[in-house]
Amino acid sequence: MSCAPLLPVPLKGPAIFVSHGGEAFPSLTMVLQGYGVSVDLVGTTFISKAGITSTTFKTVPDVPFNTFQLTLPEGSYSALAANLPANANGDFCGQKLTMPTEFIAQNGAEIHQSTPITVEGCSTALAFSTSVKKQTLTLTVYSPSAGKITASGKGLTTATKTTKGQENITIKLKQKNTGTLKTSIKVQFKPTNGKQQTKTTKLTLKK
């Protein structure tokens, strides 16, 4: 979806692959229409030996716009989709996803940035898992939004981390004294906006 400031409605349309003779890979064409206006964005596709697909739009129509949004559909046979990171465990939620982006203007000005990618449909509930090694407890905490997470437990140190958005973070708590410890772990999430959430679990740390 491309929104031009001169038009009262956004331009919308599908993204399709079009094969042209002599091209190594099909071109990615975005057909944007609205308010009697039609704009075609044509990008050159390249697939590296590592299987990474990139698209380069060498030129765009001389039409001013202020936003651009691309929705990647779900499904194993989607022509346009995103591959899970190696550490994603089958889920995009909680992952820090970015897209390398480069803009070159007609006057030669350049912008190079990593554009954040938002994942929709993720849980809004705090969640965490635990693992114990010797006298150290490791928590993998899912933060549903920006805020502050505090983890604590009787006989353990307390730790606090700030999250910038939906992400998975790691928190380590150490046992204060040697020996077997049976305790209750409390993880508290104070979002920047919204209600506070708390989760608890019981576990045993052995010497």
Q: What is the pLDDT along the chain (207 residues), one digit of tens a residue?
A: 445 566 788 888 888 888 877 788 889 888 888 888 888 888 888 888 887 778 888 877 776 777 777 777 666 666 666 655 555 555 778 887 888 888 888 788 999 998 877 777 788 999 999 999 888 999 999 999 999 999 999 999 999 999 988 889 999 999 999 888 899 999 999 999 999 999 999 998 887
Among the candidates 71, 88, 109, a domain finishes at 71
Strand ranges of the sheet holding 136-143, from the earlier edge strand across to the other edge: 127-133, 136-143, 167-174
In contact, 94 and 166? CB cutoff 8 Å = yes
CA dihedral 83→89→90→95, nearest 10 degrees, is -60
Entry pTM: 0.61
Q: How far apart are CA 126 and CA 149, in angstroms?
A: 10
Among the candidates 25, 44, 71, a domain finishes at 71
Q: How far apart are CA 32 and CA 101, in angstroms?
A: 21
Residue 34's pLDDT is 86
Residue 95, in any domain of the structure: no
Kindly provide the residue ranges of all beta strands, DSSP E only, lying in the chain, ordered along the sequence.
2-3, 15-18, 27-34, 37-47, 53-56, 67-68, 98-104, 110-116, 127-133, 136-143, 147-153, 159-163, 167-174, 181-191, 197-205
- Tokens 């999430």 -> residue: 189
What's the domain range around 27?
1-71
**Helix, strand, coil percent values for the chain (each to nearest 5):** 0, 50, 50
Residue 114, in any domain of the structure: no
Q: How far apart are CA 143 and CA 136, in angstroms?
A: 22
Q: How many domains does the chain have?
A: 2
Residue 20, in any domain of the structure: yes
Residue 200, in any domain of the structure: yes
- Residue 178 sits in a domain whose CATH number is 2.60.40.2550
